[in-house]
Amino acid sequence: MGIVITASHNPPEYNGYKVYGPDGGQLPPDMADVVIDRVDQVENELLVEVSTEEELKNLNLLHIVGEEIDQAYLKEIEQLPINRELIEQMADHLKIVYTPLHGTGSKLVPESLRKVGFNQVTVVAEQKEADANFTTVKSPNPEEHAAFALAIEYGNGLNADLLLA
């Protein structure tokens, strides 16, 4: 199993962590129920025994994802079967506005777009930094139109062709 600490795309009160199964996918209900039962057994979370980061690393129970994963991801992006000629033709004309919505994509998404040839990429500055309180949006869910208010404002100001979240 794996745990990812996340701010989610839901309102701040839903911040927490996501648990993934051995296959890397979302836990099936029966496995999720086991985790929930264990959490429910904790009477006082301040009394839970904890290990140090060093102990967990020595036991191979903790791996902090770092720059090596970013670089591997960017290398894979470069291998995508895309029409590079078309991108090259449009690179100076296609204006893209990207909003990370206070999430974690502010580094890799713009870098990925530039790596494949897009050079007119603007990031919504007010939503670039990770922010568990999502101070510029009520809910950073990209399925909700309201989450794009600042990106739309940027897009209109730049006469953008594409908005991404």
Catalytic residue numbers, as ranges: 8
On whether the CB atoms of residues 124 and 154 are closer than 8 A, the answer is yes
Nearest to 136 by CA among 86, 111, 99: 99
CA–CA distance from 143 to each of 93, 96, 139 (Å)?
27, 19, 10
User: Is the C-alpha dihedral spanning 112, 114, 115, 116 positive or negative?
Assistant: positive
Three-state secondary structure call for residue 97: strand
